[in-house]
Amino acid sequence: MKLDTQRIMLNVLLALVPGVSALAYFFGAGIIVNIVVAGVTAVTTEALILRARNRSLNTLRDGSALLTAVLLALALPPLLPLWMLVAGTAFAIIFGKQLYGGLGHNPFNPAMVGYAALIISFPLAMSSWPALGEPIAFWDILITKAMPNSGIDAVSGATALDVLKFRGALTIDETWTADQGFGHMAGVGWEWINAGFLIGGIYLLATRTITAMAPFGMLIALTVCAVLFYDSGSSQSLGSPLFHLFSGATMVGAFFIVTDPVSSPDSAMGLWIFGLGVGMITFLIRAIGAYPDGLAFAVLLMNALVPLIDHLRLRRT
Amino acid sequence: MSDALVILLGTIFVNNFVMVQFLGLCPFMGASQKFDSAVGMAAATTFVLTLACAVSYLLEHYLLQPLGLEYLRIITFIVLIAALVQFAEMVIRATQPLLYQVLGLFIPLITTNCAVLGVALLNVRHNHSLFESIIYGFGAALGFSMVLITFAAMRERQTAADIPGPFRGAAINMISAGLLSLAFMGFTGMNG
């Protein structure tokens, strides 16, 4: 059992490589710094809690803390101040996982707990992504992250989801030409990042590390919602289906977040409901919510419904 | 009709009385220990809350305001809610003896559910019409029921979890409620 968990986690980490490489290619080494710092924080936090509970440190080897840290870190802006990164990761591990008794008992996805806590506490820092194609020297990244007010100005650009949301009365085509941040399908870079995670997801499906119900449910719901509200690009349009599929956290969410076996239902029917719910709420928050991307909140809300979904299924049979 | 839908969805999700406005926390914590009693509590509260909104509207507009007695609003509504709860108790005892046994002490507690009084008072503040008041109360009750039942299912699952000693019981429930509230913040800004 332990070995199995470890192998699954390693497989998932391996599948993250294409997406993370794309992120690092477009946004620079800050992403890698985030992942390393979050990883160290997560493992240290988990070890401290296990120590305080007089438990064996062996459970650390299952790699789940590391995976939580990586999933959280790759959703964070590369120049996020270090102390926020550390606080968010520690919050995810402590409140999202360890207080419930560790892996297997957590009702919510710990990485999403950390993300939601961070975006509510530090909305500005959490939505400052650096502009594409303007590489920042490695030392400057470290200095900016350690001392946020040190005076090094990172040029910040809005992500494609932000631009779409706050474009005023422009039509989709006008937005596309007015803003350099758009590529073929979605935001420049973001489409490649999502493609990278999609490749990883296909690898996970092929190796049967994950099942297809929840990811497909989520992608189908997102596509259907986007089709229903896409009026071929007027100023009221909410973005094309392709745009939504290849923007923000769509692919990493579909194949790496909603597939978490602990915080998702344990029946096929339940997994479909779970995935469809995540897709719909994600679209809803992107369309009319206050936050640019809704994946984290969608996952947390559906996580909360998981015990109810399982309960109702058991009761019927 | 679409206005009614906006009020309904708004009170269920965006301004959920428990998770966003933090009203009605006592029954939320108190009645969510068992799944079945949570369902019963949800049904009883829905009944009382919806009825309270309708009757409090009538009292406000046909008794208190014509007589200039607005300063008696709080006490009038409290008495009204207490009477409705008595009524609900009699109905449940007569029709559902089993549910009455499960709920027992909780039914009188609906009286002290601050969400019930809160919704009645908010109706007055928002100048809702009779129809809007009823929808507002019904939506608030549905939101309360949804959260209560969801939370009860979550708590039932946690009985098997290996929760650290100091955090068992009330502490972990507070943390779960906090994380659930965190999730509900995703609906921020959706007031149509």
For a pLDDT cut of 90, what percent of chain A falls above it?
35
Q: Are A195 and A183 in contact (CB under 8 A)?
A: no
Q: What residues of chain B lie within 8 A of the CB of A116, using their CB?
A: 182-183, 185-186
What's the token pair of residue A299? 């996952």
Say if A100 is an interface residue toward chain B (CB within 8 Å): yes
Nearest CA in chain B to A305: B150
pLDDT on residue A219: 92
Return the HEC string of B153-175.
HHHHHHCCCCCCHHHCCHHHHHH
pLDDT on residue A2: 47
Q: Are B184 and B50 in contact (CB under 8 A)?
A: no
Q: What residues of chain A lie within 8 A of the CB of B20, using their CB?
A: none
What's the token pair of residue B127? 């100048």
Residue in the block written with tokens 């941040």: A181
Instruction: Break chain B into its structural domains and give their ranges.
Output: 14-184
Task: Quote the CA–CA distance of B175 and B192 in Å, as a whole number.
Answer: 30
CB atoms within 10 A of CB B71: 9
Q: Are A190 and A248 in contact (CB under 8 A)?
A: yes
Between positions 42 and 71 of A, the ones with CB within 8 A of B are 49, 53
Q: What residues of chain B lie within 8 A of the CB of A99, using their CB?
A: 163-164, 167, 172, 175
The alpha carbon of A133 is separated from its chain's Cα centroid by a whole number of angstroms, namely 23
Q: Are A45 and A89 in contact (CB under 8 A)?
A: yes
For B13-41, the pLDDT digits (tens) are 888 988 988 888 888 988 888 888 888 88
Say if A123 is an interface residue toward chain B (CB within 8 Å): no
Task: Quote the CA–CA distance of B188 and A291 in Å, as a whole number.
Answer: 8
pLDDT on residue A280: 92
Task: Quote the CA–CA distance of A271 and A264 in Å, as a whole number.
Answer: 7
pLDDT on residue B80: 93
Q: Are A304 and B185 in contact (CB under 8 A)?
A: no
Task: Quote the CA–CA distance of B79 and B56 in Å, as a whole number.
Answer: 10
pLDDT on residue A1: 42
Looking at CA atoms only, how far is residue A298 from chain B in angstroms?
Answer: 8
pLDDT on residue A184: 57
Q: What residues of chain B lie within 8 A of the CB of A308, using their CB?
A: 149-150, 153-154
Give the dihedral sign, CA A251/A253/A257/A259.
Answer: negative
More reliable by pLDDT, A130 or A235: A130
> What's the predicted TM-score (pTM) here?
0.89
Q: What residues of chain A lie within 8 A of the CB of B174, using their CB?
A: none
Which of A301, A310, A311 is closest, CB to CB, to B183? A301
Residue in the block written with tokens 């100048």: B127
Query: Lowest-pLDDT range, A227-236, A239-248, B68-77, B121-130?
Result: A227-236
pLDDT on residue B37: 83
Task: Quote the CA–CA distance of B75 and B53 in Å, as a whole number.
Answer: 15
The burial of A144, by beta-carbon neighbours within 10 Å (0-12 exposed, 13-18 middle, 19 or more buried), is given as buried
CA angle B167, B171, B173 (to 5 degrees): 115
A316 pLDDT band, cuts 50/70/90, is low
For a pLDDT cut of 70, what percent of chain B falls above it?
98
Task: Indicate the SS3 state at residue A185.
Answer: coil
pLDDT on residue A290: 80
pLDDT on residue B166: 85
DSSP tag of A29: T
CA proximity to B81, closest of B106, B45, B105, B27: B45
Q: Is A231's pLDDT higher than 80?
A: no
pLDDT on residue A292: 77
Q: Is A10's pLDDT higher than 60?
A: yes
Looking at CA atoms only, how far is residue B16 from chain A in angstroms?
Answer: 13
Q: What residues of chain A lie within 8 A of the CB of B183, using their CB?
A: 108, 116, 297, 300-301, 303-304
Task: Quote the CA–CA distance of B156 and B174 in Å, as a whole number.
Answer: 15
pLDDT on residue A56: 82
Q: Is A315's pLDDT higher than 80?
A: no
Instruction: Break chain A into its structural domains and give their ranges.
Output: 1-157, 160-317
Residue in the block written with tokens 């990811």: A215
What's the token pair of residue A253? 């969410």
pLDDT on residue B36: 84
Task: Quote the CA–CA distance of A171 and A238 in Å, as a whole number.
Answer: 10
Work out how many CB contacts closer than 8 A connect A with B: 95
What's the token pair of residue A206? 């092929």
Task: Indicate the SS3 state at residue A187.
Answer: strand
Nearest CA in chain B to A116: B182
Q: Is A153's pLDDT higher than 70?
A: no
Q: Please determine, for the modelled complex, whether the ipTM score is greater than 0.95.
A: no
Contact B162 A296 (CB under 8 A): no
Instruction: Report DSSP letters for chain B, one per residue.
Output: -HHHHHHHHIIIIIT-TTTTS--SHHHHHHS-SSHHHHHHHHHHHHHHHHHHHHHHHHHIIIIITTTT-GGGHHHHHHHHHHHHHHHHHHHHHHH-HHHHHHHTTHHHHGGG-HHHHHHHHHHHHTT--HHHHHHHHHHHHHHHHHHHHHHHHHHHHHTTS---GGGTTHHHHHHHHHHHHHHHGGGTT---
Task: Using 50 as the pLDDT threshold, list the residues of chain B that sit under it.
Answer: 192
Q: What residues of chain B lie within 8 A of the CB of A127, using their CB?
A: none
For A283-313, the pLDDT digits (tens) are 988 888 888 788 999 999 999 999 999 988 8
CB atoms within 10 A of CB A1: 6
Contact B153 A108 (CB under 8 A): no
CA atoms within 13 Å, Cβ hemisphere of A159: 24
CA proximity to B59, closest of B77, B42, B47: B77
